[in-house]
Protein backbone atom coordinates (compact mmCIF):
# COMPACT_ATOMS: atom_id res chain seq x y z
CA UNK A 1 0.00 0.00 0.00
CA UNK A 2 3.06 2.25 -0.27
CA UNK A 3 1.62 4.33 -3.10
CA UNK A 4 -1.68 4.74 -1.31
CA UNK A 5 0.16 7.30 0.78
CA UNK A 6 -0.68 10.94 0.79
CA UNK A 7 1.99 12.90 -1.04
CA UNK A 8 2.30 15.53 1.63
CA UNK A 9 3.91 18.93 1.15
CA UNK A 10 7.23 19.40 2.91
CA UNK A 11 7.76 23.07 2.05
CA UNK A 12 4.98 24.92 3.88
CA UNK A 13 6.14 28.29 5.17
CA UNK A 14 6.46 28.75 8.97
CA UNK A 15 4.21 31.82 8.73
CA UNK A 16 1.32 29.57 7.70
CA UNK A 17 1.70 27.31 10.73
CA UNK A 18 -1.25 28.86 12.59
CA UNK A 19 -3.59 28.53 9.59
CA UNK A 20 -3.95 24.71 9.64
CA UNK A 21 -4.53 24.78 13.39
CA UNK A 22 -7.34 27.32 13.12
CA UNK A 23 -8.88 25.68 10.06
CA UNK A 24 -8.98 22.30 11.77
CA UNK A 25 -10.23 23.80 15.01
CA UNK A 26 -13.16 25.33 13.13
CA UNK A 27 -13.94 22.02 11.37
CA UNK A 28 -13.85 20.11 14.66
CA UNK A 29 -16.15 22.70 16.26
CA UNK A 30 -18.63 22.29 13.41
CA UNK A 31 -18.40 18.51 13.77
CA UNK A 32 -19.16 18.67 17.49
CA UNK A 33 -22.12 20.98 16.86
CA UNK A 34 -23.41 18.57 14.21
CA UNK A 35 -23.15 15.69 16.68
CA UNK A 36 -25.21 17.68 19.17
CA UNK A 37 -27.94 18.08 16.53
CA UNK A 38 -27.64 14.51 15.21
CA UNK A 39 -30.34 12.18 16.52
CA UNK A 40 -27.67 9.65 17.39
CA UNK A 41 -29.66 8.20 20.28
CA UNK A 42 -32.21 6.86 17.79
CA UNK A 43 -31.08 3.76 15.86
CA UNK A 44 -33.65 4.32 13.11
CA UNK A 45 -32.45 7.86 12.47
CA UNK A 46 -28.81 6.77 12.57
CA UNK A 47 -29.55 4.05 10.03
CA UNK A 48 -31.35 6.64 7.91
CA UNK A 49 -28.17 8.73 7.80
CA UNK A 50 -26.06 5.70 6.93
CA UNK A 51 -28.40 4.83 4.06
CA UNK A 52 -28.09 8.40 2.81
CA UNK A 53 -24.32 8.17 2.64
CA UNK A 54 -24.50 4.81 0.88
CA UNK A 55 -26.93 6.12 -1.72
CA UNK A 56 -24.70 9.13 -2.43
CA UNK A 57 -22.16 6.84 -4.11
CA UNK A 58 -24.29 3.80 -4.98
CA UNK A 59 -26.64 5.83 -7.19
CA UNK A 60 -25.64 4.61 -10.69
CA UNK A 61 -24.83 8.00 -12.21
CA UNK A 62 -22.82 8.96 -9.13
CA UNK A 63 -20.92 5.66 -9.04
CA UNK A 64 -19.83 6.14 -12.66
CA UNK A 65 -19.08 9.84 -12.37
CA UNK A 66 -16.89 9.33 -9.30
CA UNK A 67 -15.12 6.38 -10.94
CA UNK A 68 -14.34 8.43 -14.04
CA UNK A 69 -13.20 11.37 -11.93
CA UNK A 70 -10.96 9.11 -9.79
CA UNK A 71 -9.13 7.72 -12.82
CA UNK A 72 -8.76 11.19 -14.34
CA UNK A 73 -7.57 12.60 -10.99
CA UNK A 74 -5.07 9.92 -10.04
CA UNK A 75 -4.18 8.05 -13.22
CA UNK A 76 -4.60 4.84 -11.21
CA UNK A 77 -6.82 1.87 -12.00
CA UNK A 78 -9.73 1.75 -14.41
CA UNK A 79 -13.27 3.06 -14.51
CA UNK A 80 -15.10 -0.28 -14.73
CA UNK A 81 -13.41 -1.64 -11.60
CA UNK A 82 -13.94 1.55 -9.65
CA UNK A 83 -17.65 1.50 -10.45
CA UNK A 84 -17.79 -2.01 -8.99
CA UNK A 85 -15.79 -0.90 -5.97
CA UNK A 86 -18.03 2.13 -5.41
CA UNK A 87 -21.17 -0.03 -5.52
CA UNK A 88 -20.22 -3.49 -4.25
CA UNK A 89 -18.26 -2.33 -1.20
CA UNK A 90 -20.93 0.21 -0.33
CA UNK A 91 -23.75 -2.30 -0.69
CA UNK A 92 -21.95 -4.91 1.40
CA UNK A 93 -21.00 -2.41 4.10
CA UNK A 94 -24.57 -1.13 4.26
CA UNK A 95 -25.79 -4.71 4.70
CA UNK A 96 -23.41 -5.22 7.63
CA UNK A 97 -24.25 -1.90 9.27
CA UNK A 98 -28.01 -2.24 9.05
CA UNK A 99 -27.79 -5.60 10.83
CA UNK A 100 -26.03 -4.09 13.85
CA UNK A 101 -27.18 -2.13 16.89
CA UNK A 102 -24.80 0.68 17.77
CA UNK A 103 -26.69 3.29 19.82
CA UNK A 104 -28.73 2.96 23.00
CA UNK A 105 -29.11 -0.57 24.32
CA UNK A 106 -27.15 -2.76 21.93
CA UNK A 107 -27.08 -5.97 23.98
CA UNK A 108 -28.82 -7.48 27.01
CA UNK A 109 -27.59 -10.60 28.82
CA UNK A 110 -29.86 -11.12 31.85
CA UNK A 111 -28.16 -14.37 32.85
CA UNK A 112 -24.90 -12.46 33.19
CA UNK A 113 -26.41 -9.28 34.62
CA UNK A 114 -25.02 -7.19 31.75
CA UNK A 115 -26.67 -4.53 29.62
CA UNK A 116 -24.51 -2.79 27.01
CA UNK A 117 -25.05 0.73 25.71
CA UNK A 118 -23.41 1.95 22.51
CA UNK A 119 -22.09 5.50 22.53
CA UNK A 120 -20.12 7.67 20.10
CA UNK A 121 -16.34 7.84 20.14
CA UNK A 122 -16.48 11.52 19.08
CA UNK A 123 -15.09 13.31 16.04
CA UNK A 124 -13.32 10.91 13.68
CA UNK A 125 -10.45 11.95 11.44
CA UNK A 126 -10.27 9.73 8.35
CA UNK A 127 -7.08 9.75 6.27
CA UNK A 128 -7.89 8.32 2.83
CA UNK A 129 -5.71 6.98 -0.03
CA UNK A 130 -5.38 7.97 -3.66
CA UNK A 131 -6.24 4.43 -4.81
CA UNK A 132 -9.82 4.73 -3.48
CA UNK A 133 -10.57 8.47 -3.36
CA UNK A 134 -14.36 7.92 -3.42
CA UNK A 135 -15.09 4.46 -2.00
CA UNK A 136 -12.90 4.74 1.12
CA UNK A 137 -14.25 8.12 2.32
CA UNK A 138 -17.84 6.85 2.02
CA UNK A 139 -16.94 3.55 3.67
CA UNK A 140 -15.36 5.26 6.67
CA UNK A 141 -18.08 7.89 6.90
CA UNK A 142 -20.80 5.21 6.96
CA UNK A 143 -19.07 3.42 9.84
CA UNK A 144 -18.43 6.66 11.72
CA UNK A 145 -22.02 7.88 11.48
CA UNK A 146 -23.31 4.41 12.36
CA UNK A 147 -21.66 4.90 15.74
CA UNK A 148 -23.27 8.32 16.18
CA UNK A 149 -20.11 10.23 15.33
CA UNK A 150 -19.07 12.98 12.93
CA UNK A 151 -16.16 12.57 10.51
CA UNK A 152 -13.58 14.87 8.94
CA UNK A 153 -11.86 13.45 5.87
CA UNK A 154 -8.26 14.12 4.89
CA UNK A 155 -7.93 13.32 1.18
CA UNK A 156 -4.86 12.27 -0.74
CA UNK A 157 -3.54 15.15 -2.84
CA UNK A 158 -3.70 12.93 -5.93
CA UNK A 159 -7.38 12.18 -5.41
CA UNK A 160 -8.44 15.38 -3.67
CA UNK A 161 -10.92 16.55 -6.30
CA UNK A 162 -12.65 13.17 -6.36
CA UNK A 163 -12.85 13.07 -2.58
CA UNK A 164 -14.14 16.66 -2.49
CA UNK A 165 -16.93 15.76 -4.91
CA UNK A 166 -17.69 12.61 -2.92
CA UNK A 167 -18.06 14.62 0.30
CA UNK A 168 -20.25 17.13 -1.50
CA UNK A 169 -22.59 14.30 -2.55
CA UNK A 170 -22.66 12.83 0.96
CA UNK A 171 -23.52 16.21 2.47
CA UNK A 172 -26.30 16.75 -0.07
CA UNK A 173 -27.92 13.42 0.84
CA UNK A 174 -27.68 14.18 4.56
CA UNK A 175 -29.36 17.54 4.01
CA UNK A 176 -32.12 15.91 1.96
CA UNK A 177 -33.16 13.69 4.87
CA UNK A 178 -32.78 16.30 7.59
CA UNK A 179 -29.41 15.40 9.09
CA UNK A 180 -26.69 17.98 9.83
CA UNK A 181 -24.40 18.30 6.80
CA UNK A 182 -21.38 18.90 9.01
CA UNK A 183 -21.51 15.30 10.17
CA UNK A 184 -19.27 14.79 7.12
CA UNK A 185 -16.57 17.33 6.25
CA UNK A 186 -13.36 17.47 4.25
CA UNK A 187 -10.23 19.39 5.16
CA UNK A 188 -10.06 22.71 3.31
CA UNK A 189 -7.62 23.02 0.38
CA UNK A 190 -4.81 22.90 -0.29
CA UNK A 191 -4.08 19.42 1.04
CA UNK A 192 -0.94 19.55 3.14
CA UNK A 193 1.03 17.48 5.58
CA UNK A 194 0.52 20.14 8.24
CA UNK A 195 -3.25 20.18 7.82
CA UNK A 196 -3.57 16.40 7.96
CA UNK A 197 -1.30 16.10 11.01
CA UNK A 198 -3.18 18.92 12.75
CA UNK A 199 -6.46 17.11 12.13
CA UNK A 200 -5.04 13.93 13.66
CA UNK A 201 -3.99 15.88 16.76
CA UNK A 202 -7.39 17.50 17.27
CA UNK A 203 -9.87 14.68 16.61
CA UNK A 204 -10.94 12.00 19.10
CA UNK A 205 -10.12 9.04 16.85
CA UNK A 206 -7.88 8.87 13.78
CA UNK A 207 -8.44 6.12 11.19
CA UNK A 208 -5.57 5.96 8.73
CA UNK A 209 -5.50 4.05 5.45
CA UNK A 210 -2.38 4.60 3.38
CA UNK A 211 1.34 4.23 3.70
CA UNK A 212 2.95 2.70 6.76
CA UNK A 213 4.75 6.00 7.28
CA UNK A 214 1.38 7.75 7.61
CA UNK A 215 0.16 5.06 9.99
CA UNK A 216 3.25 5.38 12.20
CA UNK A 217 3.02 9.17 12.30
CA UNK A 218 -0.60 8.98 13.36
CA UNK A 219 0.08 6.38 16.05
CA UNK A 220 2.81 8.59 17.49
CA UNK A 221 0.52 11.63 17.58
CA UNK A 222 -1.02 10.99 20.99
CA UNK A 223 -4.48 10.59 19.44
CA UNK A 224 -6.15 7.19 19.59
CA UNK A 225 -5.39 5.75 16.15
CA UNK A 226 -6.51 2.81 14.07
CA UNK A 227 -4.03 2.04 11.31
CA UNK A 228 -3.92 -0.75 8.78
CA UNK A 229 -1.09 -2.89 7.48
CA UNK A 230 0.65 -3.12 4.14
CA UNK A 231 -0.56 -5.76 1.72
CA UNK A 232 1.63 -8.05 -0.38
CA UNK A 233 -0.50 -11.14 -0.79
CA UNK A 234 1.07 -14.54 -1.59
CA UNK A 235 -1.25 -17.33 -2.68
CA UNK A 236 -0.45 -21.07 -2.71
CA UNK A 237 -1.66 -23.44 -5.42
CA UNK A 238 -1.32 -26.98 -4.09
CA UNK A 239 -1.44 -30.37 -5.80
CA UNK A 240 -5.16 -30.90 -5.19
CA UNK A 241 -6.37 -27.55 -6.53
CA UNK A 242 -8.79 -27.15 -9.41
CA UNK A 243 -6.15 -25.43 -11.54
CA UNK A 244 -8.41 -23.69 -14.05
CA UNK A 245 -10.73 -22.45 -11.31
CA UNK A 246 -7.72 -21.16 -9.35
CA UNK A 247 -6.26 -19.47 -12.42
CA UNK A 248 -9.52 -17.75 -13.32
CA UNK A 249 -9.98 -16.44 -9.78
CA UNK A 250 -6.37 -15.26 -9.57
CA UNK A 251 -6.73 -13.47 -12.91
CA UNK A 252 -10.01 -11.77 -11.96
CA UNK A 253 -8.54 -10.65 -8.67
CA UNK A 254 -5.17 -9.56 -10.05
CA UNK A 255 -6.54 -7.40 -12.85
CA UNK A 256 -9.28 -5.73 -10.79
CA UNK A 257 -8.64 -1.98 -10.83
CA UNK A 258 -5.23 -2.77 -12.35
CA UNK A 259 -3.99 -4.30 -9.06
CA UNK A 260 -4.33 -1.18 -6.93
CA UNK A 261 -5.86 -3.13 -4.03
CA UNK A 262 -3.71 -4.08 -1.06
CA UNK A 263 -5.46 -7.47 -1.32
CA UNK A 264 -4.37 -8.12 -4.89
CA UNK A 265 -2.22 -11.23 -5.39
CA UNK A 266 1.42 -10.19 -5.62
CA UNK A 267 2.94 -13.69 -5.67
CA UNK A 268 1.87 -17.24 -6.45
CA UNK A 269 3.58 -20.23 -4.87
CA UNK A 270 2.96 -23.41 -6.88
CA UNK A 271 3.82 -26.93 -5.72
CA UNK A 272 6.35 -28.67 -7.94
CA UNK A 273 4.18 -31.60 -8.97
CA UNK A 274 1.56 -29.33 -10.61
CA UNK A 275 3.80 -26.43 -11.55
CA UNK A 276 3.68 -26.65 -15.33
CA UNK A 277 -0.01 -27.55 -15.37
CA UNK A 278 -0.77 -24.56 -13.15
CA UNK A 279 1.31 -22.24 -15.29
CA UNK A 280 -0.57 -23.45 -18.37
CA UNK A 281 -3.88 -22.77 -16.61
CA UNK A 282 -2.72 -19.27 -15.69
CA UNK A 283 -1.74 -18.66 -19.31
CA UNK A 284 -5.17 -19.85 -20.46
CA UNK A 285 -6.70 -17.36 -18.01
CA UNK A 286 -4.77 -14.50 -19.62
CA UNK A 287 -1.32 -14.55 -18.02
CA UNK A 288 1.87 -13.82 -19.98
CA UNK A 289 4.87 -15.97 -19.03
CA UNK A 290 7.92 -13.73 -19.23
CA UNK A 291 11.25 -14.94 -20.58
CA UNK A 292 14.44 -14.43 -18.59
CA UNK A 293 15.25 -11.36 -20.68
CA UNK A 294 11.76 -9.98 -20.15
CA UNK A 295 12.10 -10.61 -16.43
CA UNK A 296 15.04 -8.19 -16.32
CA UNK A 297 13.01 -5.63 -18.28
CA UNK A 298 10.17 -5.96 -15.76
CA UNK A 299 12.46 -5.44 -12.77
CA UNK A 300 14.29 -2.50 -14.34
CA UNK A 301 11.01 -0.81 -15.24
CA UNK A 302 9.17 -1.45 -11.98
CA UNK A 303 11.73 0.16 -9.71
CA UNK A 304 13.64 3.35 -10.40
CA UNK A 305 16.33 4.21 -7.86
CA UNK A 306 14.74 2.00 -5.22
CA UNK A 307 11.19 3.30 -5.65
CA UNK A 308 8.17 2.00 -7.53
CA UNK A 309 7.89 3.69 -10.91
CA UNK A 310 4.82 5.92 -10.61
CA UNK A 311 4.44 6.17 -14.37
CA UNK A 312 3.57 2.48 -14.75
CA UNK A 313 1.84 1.37 -11.55
CA UNK A 314 -1.87 0.55 -11.85
CA UNK A 315 -1.76 0.98 -15.63
CA UNK A 316 -3.55 -1.10 -18.26
CA UNK A 317 -1.81 -4.27 -19.44
CA UNK A 318 -1.07 -2.91 -22.92
CA UNK A 319 0.61 0.17 -21.44
CA UNK A 320 2.64 -1.98 -19.08
CA UNK A 321 3.72 -4.40 -21.83
CA UNK A 322 4.98 -1.54 -23.98
CA UNK A 323 6.78 0.16 -21.10
CA UNK A 324 8.50 -3.09 -20.13
CA UNK A 325 9.48 -3.83 -23.71
CA UNK A 326 7.75 -7.21 -23.78
CA UNK A 327 7.08 -9.08 -27.01
CA UNK A 328 4.21 -7.77 -29.14
CA UNK A 329 1.97 -10.70 -28.22
CA UNK A 330 2.19 -9.68 -24.55
CA UNK A 331 0.08 -6.59 -25.23
CA UNK A 332 -2.96 -8.82 -25.53
CA UNK A 333 -2.32 -10.46 -22.13
CA UNK A 334 -4.22 -9.54 -18.94
CA UNK A 335 -1.30 -9.84 -16.49
CA UNK A 336 2.39 -10.76 -16.53
CA UNK A 337 4.06 -13.65 -14.71
CA UNK A 338 7.71 -13.47 -13.70
CA UNK A 339 9.30 -16.63 -12.32
CA UNK A 340 11.73 -16.37 -9.40
CA UNK A 341 14.03 -18.97 -7.86
CA UNK A 342 14.45 -17.21 -4.51
CA UNK A 343 12.74 -14.57 -2.40
CA UNK A 344 14.58 -11.26 -2.64
CA UNK A 345 14.36 -8.24 -0.36
CA UNK A 346 12.83 -4.79 -0.59
CA UNK A 347 12.43 -3.43 -4.13
CA UNK A 348 12.64 -6.94 -5.55
CA UNK A 349 9.90 -9.05 -7.11
CA UNK A 350 9.05 -10.25 -3.61
CA UNK A 351 7.86 -6.74 -2.70
CA UNK A 352 4.46 -5.14 -3.23
CA UNK A 353 4.15 -4.05 -6.86
CA UNK A 354 0.74 -2.35 -7.31
CA UNK A 355 0.78 -3.44 -10.94
CA UNK A 356 -0.28 -6.30 -13.19
CA UNK A 357 2.98 -8.14 -12.45
CA UNK A 358 2.64 -11.47 -10.64
CA UNK A 359 5.73 -13.16 -9.18
CA UNK A 360 5.72 -16.98 -9.38
CA UNK A 361 7.69 -19.32 -7.10
CA UNK A 362 8.10 -23.09 -7.43
CA UNK A 363 7.91 -24.99 -4.13
CA UNK A 364 9.34 -28.48 -3.62
CA UNK A 365 6.45 -29.46 -1.36
CA UNK A 366 3.92 -27.90 0.99
CA UNK A 367 6.47 -27.27 3.74
CA UNK A 368 8.60 -25.41 1.22
CA UNK A 369 5.53 -23.42 0.11
CA UNK A 370 4.93 -22.30 3.69
CA UNK A 371 8.59 -21.27 3.95
CA UNK A 372 8.35 -19.19 0.77
CA UNK A 373 5.12 -17.53 1.94
CA UNK A 374 6.73 -16.58 5.25
CA UNK A 375 9.77 -15.17 3.47
CA UNK A 376 7.59 -13.02 1.18
CA UNK A 377 5.62 -11.64 4.11
CA UNK A 378 8.87 -10.86 5.91
CA UNK A 379 9.73 -8.52 3.03
CA UNK A 380 6.34 -6.76 3.06
CA UNK A 381 2.84 -7.63 4.20
CA UNK A 382 3.37 -9.44 7.48
CA UNK A 383 0.07 -9.76 9.29
CA UNK A 384 -2.12 -8.90 6.31
CA UNK A 385 -3.27 -12.03 4.46
CA UNK A 386 -2.51 -15.09 2.35
CA UNK A 387 -4.56 -17.38 0.17
CA UNK A 388 -4.60 -21.03 -0.84
CA UNK A 389 -6.26 -22.98 -3.65
CA UNK A 390 -6.76 -26.55 -2.50
CA UNK A 391 -9.26 -29.37 -2.00
CA UNK A 392 -7.45 -30.42 1.17
CA UNK A 393 -8.80 -28.39 4.09
CA UNK A 394 -6.12 -29.92 6.27
CA UNK A 395 -3.57 -27.93 4.30
CA UNK A 396 -5.63 -24.76 4.64
CA UNK A 397 -5.66 -25.22 8.43
CA UNK A 398 -1.94 -25.97 8.39
CA UNK A 399 -1.22 -22.75 6.48
CA UNK A 400 -3.41 -20.73 8.85
CA UNK A 401 -1.70 -22.20 11.90
CA UNK A 402 1.79 -21.61 10.54
CA UNK A 403 1.43 -18.10 9.08
CA UNK A 404 1.32 -14.83 11.00
CA UNK A 405 -1.56 -13.19 9.14
CA UNK A 406 -5.06 -12.04 10.04
CA UNK A 407 -6.77 -13.65 7.02
CA UNK A 408 -6.28 -16.91 5.11
CA UNK A 409 -8.66 -17.16 2.14
CA UNK A 410 -9.45 -20.60 0.71
CA UNK A 411 -10.35 -20.99 -2.98
CA UNK A 412 -11.31 -17.35 -3.40
CA UNK A 413 -10.42 -14.42 -5.62
CA UNK A 414 -8.43 -12.59 -3.01
CA UNK A 415 -9.31 -9.00 -3.88
CA UNK A 416 -13.03 -9.77 -3.77
CA UNK A 417 -12.99 -11.82 -0.57
CA UNK A 418 -10.39 -10.20 1.67
CA UNK A 419 -12.36 -7.03 2.35
CA UNK A 420 -15.58 -8.95 2.91
CA UNK A 421 -17.69 -10.97 0.52
CA UNK A 422 -21.27 -12.10 0.07
CA UNK A 423 -19.99 -15.68 0.24
CA UNK A 424 -17.74 -15.30 3.29
CA UNK A 425 -18.25 -13.88 6.78
CA UNK A 426 -15.56 -11.18 6.83
CA UNK A 427 -16.95 -7.67 7.38
CA UNK A 428 -17.09 -5.51 4.26
CA UNK A 429 -14.42 -2.82 4.40
CA UNK A 430 -11.73 -1.03 2.44
CA UNK A 431 -9.31 -1.00 5.38
CA UNK A 432 -7.73 -4.20 6.69
CA UNK A 433 -5.54 -4.34 9.77
CA UNK A 434 -2.67 -6.77 10.30
CA UNK A 435 -2.50 -7.11 14.08
CA UNK A 436 0.65 -6.51 16.06
CA UNK A 437 2.56 -8.28 13.28
CA UNK A 438 1.94 -5.14 11.21
CA UNK A 439 2.16 -2.71 14.13
CA UNK A 440 -1.64 -2.35 14.22
CA UNK A 441 -3.92 -2.26 17.25
CA UNK A 442 -6.49 -4.64 15.76
CA UNK A 443 -6.52 -7.92 13.88
CA UNK A 444 -9.72 -7.60 11.91
CA UNK A 445 -11.34 -5.74 9.05
CA UNK A 446 -12.27 -2.18 10.00
CA UNK A 447 -15.94 -2.26 11.01
CA UNK A 448 -18.60 -0.45 13.02
CA UNK A 449 -17.32 -1.85 16.34
CA UNK A 450 -14.26 0.37 15.97
CA UNK A 451 -16.47 3.46 16.07
CA UNK A 452 -18.40 2.96 19.31
CA UNK A 453 -17.66 3.09 23.00
CA UNK A 454 -19.61 0.68 25.22
CA UNK A 455 -21.03 1.39 28.65
CA UNK A 456 -21.68 -1.76 30.71
CA UNK A 457 -24.58 -1.71 33.17
CA UNK A 458 -23.73 -4.39 35.71
CA UNK A 459 -26.14 -6.02 38.19
CA UNK A 460 -25.54 -8.92 40.54
CA UNK A 461 -26.14 -12.55 39.59
CA UNK A 462 -26.02 -15.81 41.59
CA UNK A 463 -22.46 -16.27 42.79
CA UNK A 464 -20.18 -17.93 40.26
CA UNK A 465 -17.26 -19.01 42.42
CA UNK A 466 -15.71 -22.44 41.78
CA UNK A 467 -13.90 -24.41 44.46
CA UNK A 468 -10.14 -24.39 44.88
CA UNK A 469 -10.07 -28.02 43.80
CA UNK A 470 -11.81 -27.21 40.51
CA UNK A 471 -9.24 -24.60 39.66
CA UNK A 472 -6.03 -26.00 41.13
CA UNK A 473 -6.86 -29.74 41.15
CA UNK A 474 -5.15 -30.65 37.83
CA UNK A 475 -2.04 -28.74 38.87
CA UNK A 476 -1.92 -30.36 42.32
CA UNK A 477 -2.30 -33.82 40.77
CA UNK A 478 0.72 -33.28 38.51
CA UNK A 479 3.01 -31.26 40.75
CA UNK A 480 1.66 -31.44 44.29
CA UNK A 481 0.70 -28.58 46.54
Which residues are tagged catalytic? 262
SS3 of the chain: the string is CHHHCCCCCCCCCHHHCHHHHHHHHHHHHHHHHHHHHCCCCCHHHHHHHHHHHHHHHHCHHHHHHHHHHHHHHHCCCCHHHHHHHHHHHHHHHHHHHHCCCCCEEEEEEHHHCEEEEEEECCEEEEECCCCCCCHHHHHHHHHHHHCCCEEEEECCHHHHHHHHHHHHHHHHHHHHCCCCHHHEEECCCCCCHHHHHHHHHHCCEEEECCCHHHHHHHHCCCCCEEECCCCCEEEEECCCCCHHHHHHHHHHHHHHHHHCCCCCEEEEEEEHHHHHHHHHHHHHCCEEECCHHHHHHHHHHHEECCEECCCCCCCCHHHHHHHCCCCHHHHHCCEEEEEECCCCCCCCCCCCCCCCEEEEEEECCHHHHHHHHHHHHHHCCCEEEEEEECCCHHHHHHHHHHCCEEEEEECCCHHHHHCCCCCCCCCCCCCECCCHHHCCCCCCECCHHHHEEEEEEECCCCCCCCCHHHHHHHHHHHHCC
Amino acid sequence: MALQAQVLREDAQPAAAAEPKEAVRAAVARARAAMEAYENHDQARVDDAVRALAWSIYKPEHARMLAELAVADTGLGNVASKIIKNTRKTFGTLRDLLRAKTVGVISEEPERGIVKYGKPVGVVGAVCPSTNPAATPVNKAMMALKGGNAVIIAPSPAGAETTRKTVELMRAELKKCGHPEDLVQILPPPVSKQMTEEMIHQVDLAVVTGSQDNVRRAMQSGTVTIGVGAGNVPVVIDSTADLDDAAQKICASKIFDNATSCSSENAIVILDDVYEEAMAALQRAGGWRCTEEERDNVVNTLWIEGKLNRTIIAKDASVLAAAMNLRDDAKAAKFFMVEENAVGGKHSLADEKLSLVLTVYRARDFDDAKRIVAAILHVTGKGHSVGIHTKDMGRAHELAEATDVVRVLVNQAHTFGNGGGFNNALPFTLSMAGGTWAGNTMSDNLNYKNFINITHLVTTIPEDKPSEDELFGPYWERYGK
